[in-house]
Amino acid sequence: MTTLEATGETVAHETAVRSPARPAARRRTTGLTALLAVIALLAAVPVLYVASLSVRSRDDVLNGGLLPSRLFWRNWPDAFRAVDLGHYIANSWAVAAGSVVLTLLVAVPGAYFTARAGRRGARLATLVLSSYCAPPVVAVLPLFYLLRNLELNNTVAGLALVDGLANVPVAIWLLDGFVRQVPKEIEEAAWLDGLGTWASLRRVVLPLISPGVAAAALICFFLSYNEFLFALSFAQDSTAQTLPVLLSLFQGDKNVEFGQQAVVSLIGVAPVYVLAVAAQRRLVAGLSSGALK
């Protein structure tokens, strides 16, 4: 047998061995794709149903069907005539953005302390996280009087202050793991170069945990944007009310404007969905890198 024939037999043998594995890998890929498609469809069902409600009359909604029996487009112009939608969305974005700034200003040094201060840091982490376990309604009354004394009731700044402080435990919990991944030797080298603790945090640690900071900022933004209890309790005036409060105003004593409420819901969540899609890679990268040890 020549060398060429032996090589041909070897290649044929390897092809025969590999051929059963290729259909199996292809089946696994197809199955995974189908599973992800089903999960994506299930996640989109609530949004699709809200879109269906936006083109249905009140009687059609009360009939209980999942799909409109007749398209009712009047909900869209009626919703824009009924409320100043842009004002409420602007308030929601202002409250969410302001609260994120405040949250990060407190949470970044807080997470640094919990990760680097040993037992004292562990005690602080336990204290901060335990405060998040209580239902938010227990804090409504003291926060109301606090904001009244500060003259921040019915203001966007007051809501941003409350939401920002309420989200601090979540941000510290997320950022603690990122700070622990930064080797202490890097900070020690910075100290030898003359940097203090705060300077090393700002110039050394913070750039290294920037993916985690971005992920924490996005999550706290979504939490603040969707917050309802504090917005309802501390903003009785329409000048400071946010989108979740506006959605509750469509529910009257006798009638509920389902269609207009669905229209406002779709318009309100659209920019947040765009933000989530645009920041998807940064969010996933931040959370996944924080999970690595």
- The whole-number pLDDT of residue 21 equals 61
Assess whether 87 and 41 both reside in one domain.
no
Establish if 58 belongs to a structural domain.
Answer: no
Task: Give one word for 151, left, alpha or beta, with left for phi > 0 and alpha for psi -120 to 50.
Answer: left
CATH code of residue 133: 1.10.3720.10
Instruction: Answer yes or no: is 65 within a domain.
Output: no
Q: Say if 73 falls within a structural domain.
A: no
DSSP secondary structure letter of residue 256: B
Say whether both 18 and 127 belong to one domain. no
Task: For residue 199, tell me if it sits in a domain.
Answer: yes
**Which residues are 251's β-sheet partners?**
256
| 45 domain residue, yes or no | yes
Are 220 and 101 within 8 A, CB to CB? no
Report the run of H or E that residue 34 belongs to, with start and end.
helix 21-53
217, 123: one domain: yes
Say how many domains are in the chain: 2
What are the residue ranges in the chain where pLDDT is below 50? 4, 6-7, 11, 16-17, 291-293
Q: What is the CA radius of gyration of the chain?
A: 27
Indicate the pTM of the whole model.
0.84
239 domain residue, yes or no: yes
Residues 38 and 172 in one domain: no
The pLDDT value given to residue 31 = 84
Q: Are residues 258 and 128 in the same domain?
A: yes
Shared domain for 90 and 44, answered yes or no, is no
Q: Is residue 64 part of a domain?
A: no
In 117-257, where does DSSP find H-type helix?
118-131, 140-149, 156-166, 168-181, 184-192, 197-200, 206-208, 210-225, 229-234, 243-249
Do 112 and 146 reside in the same domain of the chain?
yes
C-alpha 69/C-alpha 78 separation (Å) is 20
Identify the pLDDT of residue 27: 79
Residue 153 sits in the same domain as residue 29: no
Q: Quick check: is 74 in a domain?
A: no
Structural domain span for residue 23:
3-53
Question: How far is 56 from 68, CA to CA, in rounded Å?
Answer: 6
Per-residue pLDDT tens digits for 141-197: 999 999 999 999 999 999 999 999 999 999 999 899 899 988 888 888 888 888 888
Dihedral angle of Cα 113, 116, 119, 125, to the nearest 10 degrees: 40
Statement to judge: residues 216 and 97 lie in one domain: yes
User: Is 221 in contact with 271 (CB distance < 8 Å)?
Assistant: no
- 47 and 94, same domain (yes or no): no
Q: List pLDDT tens digits, range 26-36.
A: 878 888 888 88
Looking at the fold, whether 20 and 132 belong to one and the same domain comes out as no
Same domain as 45, residue 145: no
Q: Which backbone phi and psi does 155 adopt, to 5 degrees?
A: -130, 150
Lookup result for tokens 């529910």:
251
